[in-house]
Amino acid sequence: MARLEHVHIITVREAIYPLCAAAVRDRPDITHTFVFTDMELHPNNPRDESMIRTQKEGTRDAVTKVRALSASLKIPASWSTSFPRPMPLSAMLS
């Protein structure tokens, strides 16, 4: 059976753009880009330290570049946010 789609999942951070560009270069069979980010990435919280704010802005910029790269290669791209999954109490106690 021929493979019809290739999904590549990587962690979103400031370095997502060069990683995604390399993946698309090395794997021309990638058919769709999915970017999943934590809801905490989006708002700049007034309580954020400047380092955290800078990281958030850098990551948002990198995701924008990934979406632009996908568009330029005519690869559909989706960006979805999720809420952080709560840590189970047992994990916090161990």
* pLDDT tens for each residue of 44-93: 788 888 888 888 888 888 888 988 998 998 888 887 777 666 655 555 45
Spans of all domains in the chain = 16-84
CA distances from 76 to 11, 15, 44 (A): 18, 20, 28
| pLDDT, position 68 | 92
For residues 32 and 34, what is the distance between their CA atoms, to the nearest angstrom? Answer: 7
pTM confidence score? 0.69
For residues 86 and 79, what is the distance between their CA atoms, to the nearest angstrom? Answer: 22
For residues 16 and 8, what is the distance between their CA atoms, to the nearest angstrom? Answer: 12
Residue 21 has pLDDT above 80, yes or no: yes
